[in-house]
Amino acid sequence: MRLLYGTTNKAKLATMEKITKPLGIELISLNDLEGEIPLVKETGKTPLENAQIKARTYYKFFHIPVFSCDSGLYFEELEDEEQPGIHVRRVNGRELSDEEMIQYYSSLAQQHDGKLTGRYRNAIYFILNETTAYSSMDISLATEPFLLVANPHKKRVEGFPLDSLSKDLVSGEYYYDLKTKDVSTSAMDEGFKMFFSMILKDIA
């Protein structure tokens, strides 16, 4: 099965390919398509609403099976009005670069004794055809809680800037320094695998 992943982020594509390839799913991204890529206005108030907006826009434009994802970042220590939520990369109406994100969130953690307890809530919206769509924002798609700290790790992975500020909640070690855990994988991978497995079973 060949699907369009509605993203231009190479790191996100690579991560999702690891999940879907064992299921017999071939992914392509917006970078693999010729011609203009439609501009999407992410006006939703939740990750699921934004994922739906993106998927519907790309399906209407390209007319092939497509899914889009979106996420929101939430910290236990912050009040509702302070939460990044779906605006993880956009601050004061401006899109931040990877390094600008590291600087901004490092400063935010510094304001709370050098660390925050965070978790990403993820959503996915998949359109098979004109009449069939699937969606989820189940807790199984969320990341495990982690610590976001003020002092960044020296390692950088393009597209995942906050990984440089992330530490394991139990050990207190940077994810990049853990010997038995890859920062690009987590319990949420199984949630996405279950989502796609359900779809494949349903359309078989």
- Each residue of 32-70: pLDDT tens digit? 998 899 999 989 989 999 999 999 999 999 999 999 999
CATH of residue 175's domain is 3.90.950.10
pLDDT at residue 181, as a whole number: 56
- Reply yes or no on whether the pLDDT at 185 is more than 70: no
Which of 32, 70, 98, 113 is the catalytic position? 70
- For residue 141, which amino acid is it? L
What would the pLDDT profile of 151-180 be if each residue is shown by its tens digit? 999 999 999 999 999 999 999 999 999 986
Domain count along the chain: 1
Report pLDDT for 95: 93
In the numeric block, the tokens 């610590």 are attached to 147
| CA dihedral of 168, 174, 180, 184, whole degrees rounded to 10 | 90
User: Which of 1, 96, 9, 7 lies closest to 57 in space, CA to CA?
Assistant: 7
pTM of the predicted protein model: 0.76
Structure tokens at 85: 């939520």
Name 140's bridge partners: none
Q: Is 182 a catalytic residue?
A: no
Q: How many Cα atoms occupy the beta-carbon half-sphere of 74 within 13 Å?
A: 15
Owning domain of residue 51: 2-203
Residues 25 and 3 sit within 8 Å (Cβ to Cβ)? yes
